[in-house]
Amino acid sequence: MGHLKLQTQTAINAIEEEPKGSGAGFPNRTAVACMINVEIGAVLAVMRRNVRWGVHYMSDDNQLEHSLVQSLKTLRRQIFMWRNQWHAINPVFYLQPFLDVIQSDETGAPITGVALSSVYKILTLDVIDQNTVNVGDTMHLVVDAVTSCRFEVTDPASEEVVLMKILQVLLACVKSKASVMLSNQHICTIVNTCFRIVHQAGTKGELLQRIARYTMHELVRCIFSHLQDVGNTDLALQNGSTALTQETRQLSNGNFNSANDSQSLSACITSNVATVVSATTVDENPIIASGGKETVPHELHLISESYGVPCMVEIFHFLCSLLNVVEHMGMNPRSNTIAFDEDVPLFALTLINSAIELGGCSFRHHPKLLSLIQDELFRNLMQFGLSMSPLVLSMVCSIVLNLYHHLRTELKLQLEAFFSCVLLRLAQSRYGASYQQQEVVMEALVDFCRQKLFMMEMYANFDCDITCSNVFEDIANLLSKSAFPVNTPLSSMHILALDGLIAVMQGMAERIGMGSIGLENSQLSLKEYTPFWTEKCDNFSDPNHWVSFVRRRKYLKRKLMIGADHFNRDPKKGLEFLQGTKLLPDKLDPQSVACFFRYTTGLDKNLIGDFLGNHDEFCVQVLHEFARTFDFEDMTLDNALRLFLETFRLPGESQKIQRVLEAFAERYYELSPHILANKDAALLLSYSIIMLNTDQHNVQVKKKMTEEDFVRNNRRINGGNDLPREFLSDLYHSICKNEIRTTPEQGVGYPEMTPSRWIYLMQKSRKTAPFILSDSRSYLDHDMFAILSGPTIAALSVVFDNAEHEEVYQTCMDGFLIVAKISAYYHLDNVLDDLVVSLCKFITILDPSLDDEVVAFGDDIKARMATETVFTIANRYGDFLRIGWRNILDCILRLHKLGLLPACMASDAAEELSAEMGHAKPYANSLLSTHLPSSTPKRSSGLMSKFSQLLYLGAEEPKSEPTEEQLIAHQHSLETIQKCHIDSIFTESKFLQAESLLQLTKALISAAGRPQKGNSISDDEDTAVFCLDLLVAITLNNRDRIGLLWQGVYEHISTIVQSSVMPCALVEKAVFGLLRICQRLLPYKENIADELLRSLQLVLKLDARVADAYCEQITQEVGRLVKSNASHIRSQLGWRTIASLLSITARHPEASENGFDALLFIMSDGAHVLPANYVLCVDAARQFAESRVGQCERSIQALDLMSASVSCLAKWTSDAKQAMEEEQVSKMLQDIGDMWLRLVQGLKKLCLEQREEVRNHALFSLQKCLGGAVDIDLTHGLWLECFDLVIFPVLDDLLEIAQVQSQKDYRNMEGTLILALKLLSKVFLQLFQDLSQSTVFTKLWLAVLGRMEKYMKVKIRGRRSEKLQELVPELLKNTLLVMKSGGILLQSSVLSGNSLWELTWQHVNNIVPTLQSEVFPEQDLEHLQHKKGETAGDLRPGENVSVPSKETAGQDGTGIG
């Protein structure tokens, strides 16, 4: 403690004395001098304790001090005398005394330890950097001194202290600023020294072991962190092995940390003196060289220059060679853990991992380093990857992950081999891997999957490469399979595998929207044959090129796999199939078939062997082409033969074997003719190898062939000469050690990496396509997701089903949502449907076996989470749901039956609008009161409460109060449903894509089922009603797409209407839903207005009992429809439906008022009367007029509507004349005439009405219509038809009624007859002038006279009517006078020979004999009589008029026809 205080105080004093002008960036000169002085004193103090050194101080002055003590004292005297800054002072001056102590073999461990501490302190003072004088020589001197440290061992503890301080000083050298001045040789020496300490520390204390390993680790980190700063120099120490390699060889002769190694660090030095250094020191040999070879000047330069790539190559090679120690020891890494010491490879792997972490991508710029990684390192990683030690395996996986990050573009085939031959192989329990190994493998695979682009790059580089395995698919299948607990509870392994799948999916989800090439849905096909093995990509760095290329290759690969399956069943048909798919040419050639055999996985190797061994000429050609696909360059004969025979099974027949080996020998000699004289030599030696292989590995052969036998059997086969014995010996031992499998495994499972396969892999890696680097765009995600989605959904479902923790539940739900998001993005509706189906299985409300489903649902967090997820998917990604809607509707219907749904589930757009204006939708907040009654349930009239009523049917006793747990469960249920936003599915359905919307409606119709006849409200009917409500709401919310939905909706409603025989809720919903649809959609969809209105004819098909029950409400709805949409109904078909619906209400007591209001709205002032609906409206008005439901007032109103409609006809006539062409006017006028005729015909029936007021008003209305026809251009023929069909029949029928019917039934018929007669007279007088020129005018006039004559003579109740007796002569006289004044009936007519005069007076005389004299004076009469004879025969052509007798005049129906 006193020493520490003295040192600190000295330093403080020195700092205070330092002048202010000291150089910036360097420590205070005096302070440093004080510190060094302290260190000198410390070393001397320790030396004085030793008898050997202390004796010099006690002798007389003439005796000299030891040189070590003297140098220290000299330094002490000089140190305060230096005036320069420390960076200008040569560090050798103040370091050399300490280094001499360290190197001296006379000093003990305590002295050496203090000297090492002093050097360490000086190195860490920052007084030595790259700018210091003579820094290079100084650093070299320090390294040489420390690595050649010699000391006397006094006790093990002090020895360990010295070793730890050596490590400390060496690490400080490498970490100091001046380390850049160290040469390649010194870096190697430092590493070598540290490793020797690590090696020997196994017999020492735990602390030394840990510090030694830590120091080695830090050294590697410091050295390789410098890699990115050095230039691209591919240089190495090539002349022989370095001391590092020598150390490896020494290590191969003993254990790394063997407890049995009793040899201490001083074993190589006598007199109990230890040394820690390689045999090569600075003093003895300044370079790293061995083998007795001289060092060339070039390598001298490499050794002496500042350290860089050369030493890194040596160090990395040394680290890789450490992994070969096990092989040198003759141990199998797959043997049990006790026998296999994992410490060596684990330590080496840790150092290698650090080197790769620090070097990173810089390795690719240095071919020597890269070559070590590609070959030696990866080969060892493949070996140790199969280690039984989980620690070793875990470290191997970590290294490969780092290599993937930094160097994957340079390690394409190595990565494939590692996944196929190590990870995927170990993951299969059938290969003997332990559970711990499988767990480590799974963790590693999941780590890889968490790299966002890993799976995409695996798919692009391997799955889409014909010559590579399907790494992506294999990993995906493994993860999915590993997530399935088979007869075991769910474990962390299952969760880990699921995490891997979700990580892959998450990567795809994050790439959504990042952009792609747009080839996801493009169809691939082969239009013509091209050799698939020759296809190349123009640019693997441009996605526009490589994306389409790899997708095409994947398509070819799939087709080849299908072709392989066909070939395995029937080779001939398999080749024909490949020809049909353009994978082989129409005319087979040997090369294409050979390449198919060579590059297609999954082929039956027995069939390939039989084909290649066949004597057929084509097969022989294929065999030779097959052999040419192999590259045997630089391969030994046995490895080449192994590789060749792994691709097929060698046939058993000797002739076939000969043909196969001939082809092999020819190819091998062509590529590797180094030792062999000719191909015959290759053939004979190949035969000999096959025989040796059979001899050595066939259990039936008892006497095995010796090496001498093998050599003797192969004498003089090399062109008459012998092959080198060493060559044959190597072949013999290789075959004895590793069997050549002549019956290779078929293409199932994962192969083991053999030396021959590794050699082939390295050859193939030089020619393979470059590794494709992907960016963050979703180039291949569509194809990958199609492969991965099914296994992922299955895994999610199984884990969710077996899980017991909420965290796992949430993980699964997140996974489901990720899958749904990707499915929706790529429009994969089948995947989304499968997802929904899987989720719905977990919703417990679908299980009717539960006693209290609501409580069970509230208690089951799994079911509630599944429900939330299902409806989240429906709301977010409903556009891409198809059959999945049925499962979702099953859930909705079950929730509906339980009363858990919102009260306004089926709200439509109008209800949404009202909600926005402040009328909030009532939510099902009454759940607790509905389902947790404390007494007898109340009766509720709402449909939503019917289920709760059913719960208590037949209940005799009130139920008890619910428990707190039940209340909480119910509250959870309610909260879950509120989070689901189920109503949004329907209110937002207008945003669904067409196909999804159509499937939703189909699902609703299917869920509703076919209606059952009857009037009881069962559960099925309640469901049907609910579904119908939703269907109507969807229809209303999708008015712009009504054409898409209408057919299905109409057919469903039609089925309900036509199958209902009694009033019920379902038919009520159907009818009023239909009316509501029409009412809401007519203003927007004129193109289907007729179809909508035609659908209302379903109302007319209602069963009488049903129609009667709802007639009033139906009429109200129709009235609303008319009033809101009259201007949108334009076609006759539409109006016919409306008129029919209104007409049938005319005689209904409750409905007639509403029906007539609607008709009044249409016909008042002609507001909505159109040519299309005129006749229909008139007919409807007639029916209301005929109906006695609304008393006489309504009938009279209806008659007024009919008569007022004439003004519409007049208006249309005027408009037509002004706006139309002549032809159109003619057609329009004809149509108007027909309408008018229908109008008066309708009034005709009402003129015969039993009720006097109606009858008489009908006559007035008829008269008004006839009089109003003046403004309508009616033809003469139409008027004559009107007389014949309307006016005359009315008079005749009224006359008959008056004579036949009783006065009680038809009151005051006399007044009606008077009105009818007046109508006749008035109409005739209105028209006679126009009709006088008609050829049938005479007939018309005689028919009028005939009716007057009958009315004159009619008897009512047995006596003649006085009023008629007075009225008829008056009307007749007036008519005659008008005709006279109009020039129709004149005295001159007699002179002209017209018979009208004579016929007229014949009838008039029968009515009123005296009337002639009143109308015409006497002179006129005489004059006419005078002319009578002259004109008697002058009737108009075609007339055959006779004076009717009394009998004739009395007949009904006499007219002008």
Token pair, residue 164, equals: 């730890």
Rounded Cα distance between 1341 and 1088, Å, is 52
Whose CA is closest to 1241, among 1228, 1253, 1258, 1226?
1258
Rounded Cα distance between 1281 and 853, Å, is 77
At position 1129, the amino acid (one-letter code) is I
The number of residues in the chain equals: 1457
637-645 and 654-671 helices cross at what angle (nearest 10)?
130
E strand or H helix that includes residue 316: helix 309-322
The widest CA-to-CA distance across the chain, in whole angstroms, is: 207
| Contact indicator for 757, 418 with CB cutoff of 8 Å | no
| Contact indicator for 1079, 1040 with CB cutoff of 8 Å | no
Cβ neighbours around 401 below 10 Å, total:
18
Q: 16, 17, 327, 653: which is the annotated catalytic residue?
A: 653
E strand or H helix that includes residue 788: helix 781-802
DSSP string, 798-824: HHHHH--SHHHHHHHHHHHHHHHHHHH
SS (H, E, C) 278-307: CCCCCCCCCCCCCCCCCCCHHHHHHHHCEC
| Contact indicator for 374, 411 with CB cutoff of 8 Å | yes
Rounded Cα distance between 217 and 863, Å, is 53
Assign 3-state DSSP to the chain and report helix, strand, coil percentages, each to 5: 65, 0, 30
R_g of the chain, CA atoms, integer Å: 57
Q: How far is CA 1333 from CA 1327, 1337, 1338, 1384, in A?
A: 11, 7, 10, 10
| Contact indicator for 870, 836 with CB cutoff of 8 Å | yes
| Contact indicator for 1266, 1319 with CB cutoff of 8 Å | yes
Is residue 653 flagged as an active site residue?
A: yes
Euclidean distance between the first and final Cα of the chain, in Å?
Answer: 151
At position 1076, the amino acid (one-letter code) is R
Whose CA is closest to 1290, among 1346, 1248, 1319, 1343?
1248
State CA 752 to chain mean position distance: 37
Token look-up 């054409």 returns 1043
Q: How far is CA 204 from CA 108, 262, 424, 706, in A?
A: 18, 10, 41, 47
Rounded Cα distance between 1085 and 1098, Å, is 20
At position 670, the amino acid (one-letter code) is E
At position 965, the amino acid (one-letter code) is E
3-class secondary-structure state, position 183? strand
Cβ neighbours around 522 below 10 Å, total:
9
Whose CA is closest to 187, among 92, 352, 302?
302
State CA 1383 to chain mean position distance: 95
| Contact indicator for 368, 313 with CB cutoff of 8 Å | yes
| Contact indicator for 468, 412 with CB cutoff of 8 Å | no
Token pair, residue 760, equals: 């082939």
Q: Which residues contact 1207 (CB under 8 A, 6 or more apart)?
A: 1166, 1268
Q: Which residues form the catalytic set?
A: 653
